[in-house]
Structure 1
Amino acid sequence: MDKIYETSLSDPCKAWLKSKGCAVSAEVKSVDLLGIYTREEEEISIAIELKVKLNLELILQAVERQKIVDYVYIAVPHEYKVLESPRFKKIKLLLRRLNVGLLTVNFRSIAPYVTEIIEAKPYDFEKSRRLADKKKQALLKEFHSRITDSNDGGATKRKLMTAYREQSLLIAHYLSQEQAPMTIKALKAVGAPAKAGVILRNNHYEWFERVSTGCYRLTESGTEAVETYEDIILKIVGFSEDL
């Protein structure tokens, strides 16, 4: 079999687009192949990016095309060993999540032909915006819930001081000060956060032990946490009125 170039993929992919009812043109504003068809009086665009090897750069290029094209495909030569590899299965999963289609061109026949491995789908910008907005709100909520700034940017080798951990430490601090079980009401009266009841019941860090309904004491790990984070607790207590 002769060496395959990106241009070798062009004619089979053009034929595939035409079979879908598209008018086709190549190299349109850096898009390798662009097909246009009309659906309910609206022009629908399909882009195909041609590459000899499927790599990250090609996937990133396809994602960029989604900003201006309705459907985006990647086209690569059909290689049986590659298609069956574990890595390729992971790539296919990624493409499906990105709504990017995948075509392979088989050159082992007299006339090269295209197989649609993954169907392209329109990128849902509204859904993406809604998800991004939720993440943004969660980010802002965490930011504004923090009492201290006790993390180093880029740190990966120590536990992050989240708002939840800060509030848990504040509760642990008051329990250690009292050195006796306390009710949720009593904890809130001395400065524990409004969500003290939820934090105590969930007991995410296993720092607390319920001794009776609505009444808790510190566990051994809770006492250790108070000692370990003593410097941070001093900061938290100093700003606890902001909770």
Structure 2
Amino acid sequence: MPIQNETELYAPVKHYFEQRGYTVRGEVKHCDLVAIRGDEPPVIVELKKSFNIPLLVQAIDRLKLTQDVYVAFELPNKGKAPHRLQWEDIRRLCRMLGLGVLTVQFYKRKQPTVDLVCEPTPYMLRSNKRASLKLVTEFHERSGDYNVGGSNKMKLMTAYREKSLHCVHLLKLHGPLSPRQLREFTNNKAVPSLLQQNYYGWFIRQSRGIYHLTPSGEKALVDYAHVAASFPPSSQFKSE
């Protein structure tokens, strides 16, 4: 059953890794899917509707971040390997590239199934430790999974956007606040910088050291209501 968009692959592949004890996030630092289990290195999965060269090139680029990179695509009609190849050809090619392969089969009346074609094998490419650290940091600084892997031309819920939205949520709840009060609420030392940079135009300085919301900030709470609903209830802050 041909899929219409690669985002349809995200849910079954996410479920596949969650069953194996991983926590999964979509669209982390341009990676379609990132899965992490404990202190293990991250697993990256790139999603495409079909097996093709752009998918392989994209996955090879992810090897700079981790050795555990998979490509995932819909199982072709009748289970045949794509491009008139044999599945052994696909396995051999991807093993030489250091990539794992997952296929997803969709049905009309039951849940899709994910099959492992091959595991990723070590590939002798010098990893970018700094980029890998940024990937893991971005992953852990997100409170939940608010993006669908494979999305494009959409505003993604990054850790920075989430932290900004948390401040918006608190300003809406309590009225104008100081950076120190917001820092106490969020336990985020970067709040003063976040307010001053005002990257999304959500904040306005009402008076010296006191910030409130702009109309754009009010709208953000509506646009991202599903994210704001996950914020923990705030305790009373110390008055200044």
Q: TM-score, with normalisation over the residues of structure 2?
A: 0.47
* Higher RCO by CA contacts (8 Å cutoff, separation 6 or greater): 2
Considering only CA atoms, is the larger Rg found in Structure 1 or Structure 2? 1
Greater share of helix: 1
The TM-score, its normalising length taken from structure 1, stands at: 0.46
